[in-house]
Structure 1
Amino acid sequence: MRCSAVYPNHFTFSAILSACADTMIVFHGEQLHCLIWKHGFDAHVFVCSALVDMYAKSSEMTLAERVFDEMPERNLVSWNSMIVGFLQNELYDQAVEFFREVHRESEVSPDQVSFSSVLSACANMGALEFGRQVHGIGFKQGLVTLTYVKNSLVDMYCKCGWLADAANLFWTIGERDVVSWNVMVIGCICNHKFEDACNYFWVMRREGITPDEVSYCSVLNASASLAALDQGTLIHDQIIKSGFAKSACVSSSLITMYAKCGSLIDAYRMFNETDERNVVCWTAMLAAYQQHGCANQVIELFEKMLEEGMKPNYVTYVSALSACSHTGWIEKGFKYFDSMTKVHGINPGREHYACMVDLLGRAGRLDEARRFIETIPVKPNASIWGALLGACMKYDNIKMGREVAETLFELEPNNPGNYLLLSNMYTRKGRLEEADEVRRLMGVNGVRKEPGCSWIDVKNRTFVFTVHDRSNSRNDKIYEMLRKLRELMKKKGYVAETQFANNSMVKSKEQDLWYHSEKLALAFGLLTLPAKAPIRIKKNLRTCGDCHTFMKFASEIFLREIIVRDVNRFHRFTNGFCSCGDYW
């Protein structure tokens, strides 16, 4: 057009600026900006609004604000371009401030774009009070019945932790489209109401709303968090019927769901059936192997991913480095760590530094791990120091452990795990007075150990067990099964690891170990599940060393696959061995 000597007008510039905004190539936009000046359209409100939008979408908010400030005339589109731009660039404070200004303008009245954008900013800031004020203004102007605004309101209340208010809005105002349902499902997940998230999904289906990719990915996330395999397989069935099985996003969610529900075979089957794997699919499978303690498979798959030319992301490297720490491959771990910045341009984060500390610590190189922490360019957080404390526990380095624990007491004073690790270190060395002193410190600081519990699903019912639990209707048979297990295991050579007992009385320690919650859940599973069926147990804390040994013996004696998901990972016990290789 330019070569044909046809002069562009304001429509031309607006259209081309929109194309520049979509490509996010700011250099092209800057060239057009110069041309706009030459042709005298720099004061045209239509063109300047498109310029603001282009700079905002190219993450150049300083330039966008400069154009906005120089505009002799502004309309609602100009203001909305700035508010949306601040929102997209995560400058939520500025988005809120611009909304305040546009609300004060007598000539311009905010519309549904203004309201939904500022509500999204409030949601991301957790600014509940200002969000309520926006809600009131929107109500007065009659905008809250619009689906676009209502969905943003529900999202704001969910993300600010006011799920009841969100649900009230959801059920009472206007029509509900698939986005409305997705917002509620995601809101429940954000508030750790995973069962409610699944319920909203099934009610949506009953009301005739067709789920989209976001619906399926979200409800699979909820099922994974519940470790509800039956729920997940039902959703998978719906996905196949609806034709979303080929979606890379949905496939990744299915891989994660099956992995977190303890079915690694199904997770790998989903990975194999995905034709076009993106980095999220690869990362989901790597995380699945890592969570199940299959560190060697993580390394093999990561190498294969690199061979196929797939660029790893931030999360991919967390799995790869963690696998190196669990296999003791120090050189390979540092090779991967160095390649993050040198090859793929990814700046390491605290998760990666924690993996490297864990890598050195598990290998017994505690002093080197301590020096590594002192050299990293970010302030070490609890996960980094926690990795070192775990290594101090493993190698009985009480002096360093005490120093690290004191640092952790300051960083997270309400985490009982740090106190218990230090106390157990003293106990193992026979320094009982110091161990008791640490436990007294917990009491002084008001820190309580979370009660351990395990649960098992049988015939669509969930049965929960705590330590020494006697609430189950089959209580007598459960304890009889435990006595039978004790006899069989002792014949196989089992010796109780009494250092993991909670009771400080020596005579009661072995007795105490026999009634840990996962052992009671196992006994119940042996009584109620079919002979060849795997036994899947979930636990809210890290499984102790004695229970780990117990499960290995049980899997060999009963020829059963026993899958225990604790707070850190899955342990798959078969024929007397665990998938973690006793290294967790």
Structure 2
Amino acid sequence: MLSTVTGLHLPPLNHNTDSHSPQTLTATHLLNSFASPSELKQLHAHLIKTNSPLTSLPPSRIAFVCSLNPSFSYARKLFQHLETPETEAWNSCLKAFAEGNDPIDAILLFNQLQSFCVSPDSFTLSFVLKACTRLLDVSKGRGIHGYVEKLGFQSNLFLMNMILNLYTLCGGERDARLVFDKMPQRDVVTWNIMITQLVKRGEIKGAYDLFSQMPGRSVRSWTLMISGFVQCGKPKEAIGLFLEMEEAGVRPNEVTVVAGLAACADLGDLDLGRRIHEYSNQSGFSRNVRVSNTLIEMYVKCGCLEDACKVFDGMKERTVVSWSAMIAGLAMHGQAEEALRLFSEMIEKGMDPNDVTFVGLLHACSHIGFVDQGREFFTSMTNDYGIVPKIEHYGCMVDLLSRAGLLQEAHEFIINMPIKPNSVVWGALLGGCKVHKNIELAEEATKHLSELDPLNDGYYVVLSNIYAEAQRWEDTARVRKLMRDRGVKKTPGWSSITLDGVVYEFVAGDETHPQAQEIVQMWEKLVEKMKLKGYVPNTSVVLLDIEEDQKEKFLYRHSEKLALIFGLINTEPGTPIRIMKNLRVCEDCHAAFKLISAIVDREIVVRDRNRFHCFKDGSCSCKDYW
């Protein structure tokens, strides 16, 4: 043992000693493994006694065992005898502390070095800065920044980038900007640090301004901006940047692929999504679970449930995110029974669900009217899995009960919630009131919504429409006036369709499209065929006090109808039509699309605000429950 080193009869460590003898090997081991100052002193004494050279002692080991205790000065004296670069020895110790479990030790050691006037070099400062960054200690970091300035290391780009990064991580935006502006030189890392900070704060315009000024960009630079646009709800800009990145000849990495797929999911750009999928497979990214999970989400949101299932089935490794994404996707597409079956399979395979899994399950039950199963899942998540319901789960339950017509139960459920209901919860009740024409509870829900989300036009519109359906035109006018007085503007309904990578948008009543005349002519032909199959325009959804013929004309110009006809005109027979809509699809459009799917023998997929409707052979995947 090291503690008995002076009791060992070790030979002198000189060139005349047999390097393979047991004693020499033991001595060598001891020289590299002493673990305390007392053991070092015993070994030091042995070297003197046996006339062995002190240079046998490893300086980095001396520094490490003497760094944070009273033997610090003893180590310094040893370094003088060893004629070794003292700073270099302490740096090795600082590096170990900065990268270890207790980075605070690096700062404590640096303080000790300062009190003994040990001159720091650029490596010293970099290791202490690393410790400050891991601890998010901006106060000590400022002190190190002062040393950098004092010692003339401003031209050391690596150090300046570390300082810049520390300020951005600790929320020192002003300090970071001052450092950035004063830096005598910058590299791509410098720019990326600043862009990362702005993206995290949601300042996407500022981030893009910096990105545009960069003299050179790395794949990380592109990925930061693409991800930033996705996070800020700007998928169109994200996709534009992804395409620009391709043109610049920069190959996306796995993180870029995830960001690009997320943008495609939000925008419904299936063509680009498929192309990214193909690139991902060619690049060997298919083994990346996060890439596969995002692929599932992309195909689900683009209305390609079968492709999502193929990705899921082909995964060799699945996480709870994979299962939850697939369950949610099945729910959105009206495949409630399959979603519940998949959940059972998930449990059988030993995968524990999380709170997101139960959101998907409750949505599945809500979209098909499985009230009893929904109640069971809501109870099970706490009793069986210890998951405390969040506001999303309460919202799902209110939606489930409200859609099923159990409005009083839904209202009591809200009143008895252990957390304060938000606008989504009251909005779910309001939606049920519209479906089941309950004016009293609709007024109650709107009273709360006007306080929680006073500028959301959707709630006013729903209440106005409920009054209009009941032909209470004075109340309808009163709600519309209230919207004007509060400066709330109605969100116009729009629908989009993507053809050959180009997104075409239509708004309700749009007559300015270059193919407007063709669209009207084809619609009139379809209406004739639809009426032969029993179609009667549902003018009750036009909640305006106007003549019946005017209501029909208004009805025929709903944005999803315009997008559908445009798609039929500009695609080959048999090609599926995929439409995205920002609002809930109306009853008349739903009935019309069912008939049109059979007349033109096309699959028509509509993604509205709440779910997917897949129209095929005269029926819809929602089974007319939405």
TM-score (norm: length of structure 1): 0.82
Deviation, structure 1 residue 50: 4.3
- Please tell me whether the aligned partners of residues 271 and 285 of structure 1 are also in contact (alpha carbons under 8 angstroms): yes
Task: Return closer, same or farther for 1:203/1:480 CA change in 2, 3 Å cut-off.
Answer: closer
Task: Decide which moves more: 101-110 or 176-185.
Answer: 101-110
2 CA distance for matches of 1:78 and 1:341? Answer: 46
Structure 1 segment 430-469 matched on structure 2, within 5 A: 430-469=471-510
Task: Return closer, same or farther for 1:69/1:448 CA change in 2, 3 Å cut-off.
Answer: farther
- Please tell me whether the aligned partners of residues 254 and 267 of structure 1 are also in contact (alpha carbons under 8 angstroms): yes
Q: Does 1:567 align with 2:620?
A: no
The partner residue of 2:324 within 275, 279, 283 is 283
Deviation, structure 1 residue 558: 2.0
Q: Which residue number corresponds to residue 552 of structure 2?
A: 510
Task: Return closer, same or farther for 1:339/1:98 CA change in 2, 3 Å cut-off.
Answer: farther
The partner residue of 1:338 within 373, 376, 379 is 379
Deviation, structure 1 residue 260: 1.4
Task: Return closer, same or farther for 1:134/1:4 CA change in 2, 3 Å cut-off.
Answer: farther
Q: Does 1:576 align with 2:603?
A: no
Deviation, structure 1 residue 114: 4.1
Q: Which residue number corresponds to residue 244 of structure 1?
A: 285
Task: Return closer, same or farther for 1:474/1:139 CA change in 2, 3 Å cut-off.
Answer: closer
Q: Does 1:115 align with 2:156?
A: no
- Please tell me whether the aligned partners of residues 150 and 173 of structure 1 are also in contact (alpha carbons under 8 angstroms): yes
- Please tell me whether the aligned partners of residues 468 and 544 of structure 2 are also in contact (alpha carbons under 8 angstroms): no
Q: Which residue number corresponds to residue 532 of structure 1?
A: 574
Deviation, structure 1 residue 325: 1.8
The partner residue of 1:306 within 338, 347, 368 is 347
Task: Return closer, same or farther for 1:321/1:8 CA change in 2, 3 Å cut-off.
Answer: farther
- Please tell me whether the aligned partners of residues 52 and 78 of structure 1 are also in contact (alpha carbons under 8 angstroms): no
SS at 1:388 equivalent: helix
2 CA distance for matches of 1:4 and 1:238? Answer: 64
Q: Does 1:550 align with 2:592?
A: yes
Deviation, structure 1 residue 417: 0.7
SS at 2:491 equivalent: coil
2 CA distance for matches of 1:161 and 1:554? Answer: 44
The partner residue of 1:8 within 35, 48, 61 is 35
Deviation, structure 1 residue 412: 0.9
Deviation, structure 1 residue 444: 0.7
Task: Return closer, same or farther for 1:148/1:399 CA change in 2, 3 Å cut-off.
Answer: same
Task: Return closer, same or farther for 1:73/1:279 CA change in 2, 3 Å cut-off.
Answer: farther
Q: Which residue number corresponds to residue 153 of structure 1?
A: 194
- Percentage identity across paired residues of the two chains: 38
The partner residue of 1:54 within 101, 111, 115 is 101
Residue-by-residue CA offset, 1:127-162 (whole Å, 9 max, x unaligned): xxx52441222342447x244442120122234444
Deviation, structure 1 residue 521: 1.8
Q: Does 1:140 align with 2:189?
A: no
Give me the CA root mean square deviation: 3.3
1 CA distance for matches of 2:94 and 2:145? Answer: 23
- Please tell me whether the aligned partners of residues 52 and 82 of structure 1 are also in contact (alpha carbons under 8 angstroms): no
Structure 1 segment 238-387 matched on structure 2, within 5 A: 238-387=279-428
Residue-by-residue CA offset, 1:314-361 (whole Å, 9 max, x unaligned): 222211111122232233223322332333333221111111111222
SS at 2:535 equivalent: coil
- Please tell me whether the aligned partners of residues 292 and 569 of structure 1 are also in contact (alpha carbons under 8 angstroms): yes
SS at 1:54 equivalent: coil
Q: In structure 2, what residue type is equivalent to 1:54?
A: N
Q: In structure 2, what residue type is equivalent to 1:268?
A: C
Task: Return closer, same or farther for 1:557/1:243 CA change in 2, 3 Å cut-off.
Answer: same
Larger radius of gyration: 2
Residue-by-residue CA offset, 1:538-570 (whole Å, 9 max, x unaligned): 222221121111111111222211111222222
2 CA distance for matches of 1:438 and 1:450? Answer: 15
Q: Does 1:414 align with 2:461?
A: no
Task: Decide which moves more: 464-473 or 526-535.
Answer: 464-473
Q: In structure 2, what residue type is equivalent to 1:377?
A: P
Residue-by-residue CA offset, 1:474-525 (whole Å, 9 max, x unaligned): 3222112222222222222222222211532142222311111111222222
Deviation, structure 1 residue 415: 0.7
Task: Return closer, same or farther for 1:511/1:316 CA change in 2, 3 Å cut-off.
Answer: same
1 CA distance for matches of 2:347 and 2:423? Answer: 31
1 CA distance for matches of 2:513 and 2:96? Answer: 68
Q: Which residue number corresponds to residue 156 of structure 2?
A: none
TM-score (norm: length of structure 2): 0.77
- Please tell me whether the aligned partners of residues 49 and 78 of structure 1 are also in contact (alpha carbons under 8 angstroms): no
Residue-by-residue CA offset, 1:175-213 (whole Å, 9 max, x unaligned): 533222211211222333323323433444454443221
Task: Decide which moves more: 44-53 or 346-355.
Answer: 44-53
The partner residue of 1:213 within 236, 254, 271 is 254
1 CA distance for matches of 2:384 and 2:131? Answer: 37
Task: Return closer, same or farther for 1:241/1:452 CA change in 2, 3 Å cut-off.
Answer: same
Task: Return closer, same or farther for 1:420/1:207 CA change in 2, 3 Å cut-off.
Answer: closer
Deviation, structure 1 residue 402: 0.5
Q: In structure 2, what residue type is equivalent to 1:562?
A: I
Q: Which residue number corresponds to residue 562 of structure 2?
A: 520
Q: Does 1:84 align with 2:131?
A: no
1 CA distance for matches of 2:2 and 2:430? Answer: 67
Q: In structure 2, what residue type is equivalent to 1:334?
A: R
Q: Which runs of 5+ in 1 are unaligned?
A: 11-37, 57-63, 87-94, 123-129
Q: Which runs of 5+ in 2 are unaligned?
A: 6-32, 38-64, 73-89, 115-123, 154-158
The partner residue of 2:267 within 205, 214, 226 is 226
2 CA distance for matches of 1:185 and 1:530? Answer: 33
SS at 1:489 equivalent: helix
Deviation, structure 1 residue 98: 6.5
Task: Return closer, same or farther for 1:39/1:394 CA change in 2, 3 Å cut-off.
Answer: farther
1 CA distance for matches of 2:140 and 2:438? Answer: 56
Deviation, structure 1 residue 221: 0.8
Q: Which residue number corresponds to residue 500 of structure 1?
A: 541
Task: Decide which moves more: 195-204 or 472-481.
Answer: 195-204
Deviation, structure 1 residue 442: 0.6
Residue-by-residue CA offset, 1:31-68 (whole Å, 9 max, x unaligned): xxxxxxx9994688968994997379xxxxxxx79x98
Task: Return closer, same or farther for 1:390/1:186 CA change in 2, 3 Å cut-off.
Answer: same
SS at 2:287 equivalent: coil
2 CA distance for matches of 1:4 and 1:423? Answer: 91
- Please tell me whether the aligned partners of residues 80 and 114 of structure 1 are also in contact (alpha carbons under 8 angstroms): no
Deviation, structure 1 residue 100: 5.8
Q: In structure 1, what residue type is equivalent to 2:622?
A: C
2 CA distance for matches of 1:173 and 1:181? Answer: 11
- Please tell me whether the aligned partners of residues 98 and 131 of structure 2 are also in contact (alpha carbons under 8 angstroms): no
- Please tell me whether the aligned partners of residues 53 and 81 of structure 1 are also in contact (alpha carbons under 8 angstroms): no
2 CA distance for matches of 1:570 and 1:68? Answer: 60
What count of residue pairs does the alignment treat as equivalent? 533
1 CA distance for matches of 2:472 and 2:283? Answer: 62
- Please tell me whether the aligned partners of residues 496 and 563 of structure 2 are also in contact (alpha carbons under 8 angstroms): yes
2 CA distance for matches of 1:230 and 1:4? Answer: 74
Q: Which residue number corresponds to residue 27 of structure 1?
A: none
